Structure 1
Amino acid sequence: MADLIDTTEKATGWRGSREVWLAAAREAFLDSGLDAVKIQPLASRLNLSRTSFYWFFADRAALLEALLEDWETVNTGSLVAATHDYAETITEGVLNLIGIFLDDGPFESRLDLAVRGWAHQAEAVALRVNRADDTRLAAIRAMYERFGYGAGEADVRARTVYLVQIGYISMQVHEDTATRMTRIPDYVKTFTGKAPSERELARFRARHGQGA
């Protein structure tokens, strides 16, 4: 990332920004794990002075907290938002949800996997992950209930959708886009008990650059 920083700005006293430091921390976390998220290595990566860090974060703990907040905003936030996106049917609602997990979607699978790994090392992070899972499941469950599913069925279907997606992430499954697209109609039918319409599928494919 250092090549993204203009070294002449360092000479004029440029300290970066909160976003620049957080982006570098996130990149280090994803590439090399939590131990790589340390102030001096990040400063070297950014070609900035160590003291510049303290203009934006009180200490490393504050930076780690910012990483968790970023994860919650990006991943939990995008999932909850997807459950409220416009949908005429439950099948369209589930397509909206599936879409966030595709390569062009806002949900960042590598970040989720990294935070779940972190949770194995820190009880406080494990609690955050558990709360995030509860929030995500509640949002999906509520979406099903809005389309007339009873509470018990909505809960089981929500778990089926979510645990399949988390399974993809945890197993680091790599499917090419064409293969994933061919499976999506049957996934939707499995998740909802209903087949998506051709019109819904055409809109979904168009949104994700797959044509009509």
Structure 2
Amino acid sequence: MTSKPDTLAPAGKTSGWRGSRDVWLDAAKQAIIDSGVDAVKIQPLANRLNIARTSFYWFFKDRGALLEALLDEWESKNTGAFVEACGAYAETISEAVLNLIVVFHDETLFESQLDFAVRGWAHQSDMVAARVHNADEARLSAIRAMFERFDFDKSEADVRSRTVYLTQIGYISMQLNESDAVRLERAPGYVKTFCGQSPSQSELARFYARLKYNPASQPR
């Protein structure tokens, strides 16, 4: 009995000798971050991965399916991070805002470079632009609901949610190159600006611990 070439994976298999769906998707993500959506092409990705081009078709129907999966992952992860953070347990609005700010600083939760790349892609595609618009609305809605949970009226919650979100999108779109220490030292001021209430020392301590940051160890 003759076995299949090892460049092919059994039908329905999601990983194997010649890569996996996640391997192709991660390579596509890095390509769009590095060079834009035009760099997300099957043969260049195969070359990057040192995997036979034929492997691709075990995991995706075509390039369009790969791009759709890339958008789905961006939306699930980045928008999902906002929704989860805004709904997280908090005893005060300042603690709730700190929960959200954690997302801005933790690339395992929110990939800012991918967000920037997808926004660039949106300038080339009405479909992607619509997805970005919907994601922005979902994120704003989650932040607005967070403020309303702490008894801010709808109008004030709307303005404050936009202040929070547009500040972060400004950081992404301007590609500001600030150190984590600089941004984290500003966190208490941002919290007060965003919600009108300064965080307590215990809230700040928990916030810094989540990000593995020790203010006392920073040079003065």
Give the TM-score normalised by the residue count of structure 1.
Answer: 0.92
Tell me if 1:193 matches 2:196: yes
Unaligned runs of 5+ in 2: 8-16, 216-220
> For 2:123 and 2:107, how far apart are their aligned partners in 1?
29
Q: 1:82 aligns with which of 61, 85, 91?
A: 85
Once the two structures are TM-superposed, the CA of residue 103 in structure 1 deviates from its matched residue by: 4.5
Q: Could you tell me which residue of structure 1 aligns to residue 63 of structure 2? A: 60
Unaligned runs of 5+ in 1: 1-10
Q: 2:6 aligns with which of 8, 12, 16?
A: 12
The answer to whether the Cα contact below 8 Å between 1:95 and 1:188 also exists between their aligned partners in 2 is yes
Tell me if 1:139 matches 2:142: yes
Tell me if 1:106 matches 2:109: yes
> For 2:107 and 2:185, how far apart are their aligned partners in 1?
17
Kindly provide the CA deviation profile for residues 117-138 of structure 1, in whole angstroms up to 9, marking residues without a partner as x.
0000000000000000000000
Q: Quick one: which amino acid aligns to residue 115 of structure 2? A: D
Q: Could you tell me which residue of structure 1 aligns to residue 132 of structure 2? A: 129
Q: Quick one: which amino acid aligns to residue 130 of structure 1? A: H
Kindly provide the CA deviation profile for residues 58-95 of structure 1, in whole angstroms up to 9, marking residues without a partner as x.
10000000110010011001111100111111100000
Once the two structures are TM-superposed, the CA of residue 140 in structure 1 deviates from its matched residue by: 0.4
Once the two structures are TM-superposed, the CA of residue 12 in structure 1 deviates from its matched residue by: 3.4
Kindly provide the CA deviation profile for residues 139-193 of structure 1, in whole angstroms up to 9, marking residues without a partner as x.
0000100010000000000000000000010001121122112211011000001
Q: Could you tell me which residue of structure 1 aligns to residue 40 of structure 2? A: 37
> For 1:157 and 1:57, how far apart are their aligned partners in 2?
42
Structure 1 runs (4+) greater than 6 angstroms displaced: none
> For 1:36 and 1:15, how far apart are their aligned partners in 2?
21
Q: Quick one: which amino acid aligns to residue 204 of structure 1? A: F
Secondary structure of 1:205 counterpart: helix
Q: Could you tell me which residue of structure 2 aligns to residue 170 of structure 1? A: 173
> For 2:139 and 2:59, how far apart are their aligned partners in 1?
30
> For 2:214 and 2:185, how far apart are their aligned partners in 1?
13
> For 1:116 and 1:58, how far apart are their aligned partners in 2?
25
Q: Quick one: which amino acid aligns to residue 203 of structure 1? A: R
User: Identity percentage over the alignment?
Assistant: 64
Once the two structures are TM-superposed, the CA of residue 112 in structure 1 deviates from its matched residue by: 0.4
The answer to whether the Cα contact below 8 Å between 2:93 and 2:195 also exists between their aligned partners in 1 is yes
Q: Quick one: which amino acid aligns to residue 129 of structure 1? A: V
Give the TM-score normalised by the residue count of structure 2.
Answer: 0.89
> For 1:85 and 1:15, how far apart are their aligned partners in 2?
40
Secondary structure of 2:186 counterpart: helix
Q: 2:163 aligns with which of 145, 160, 163?
A: 160
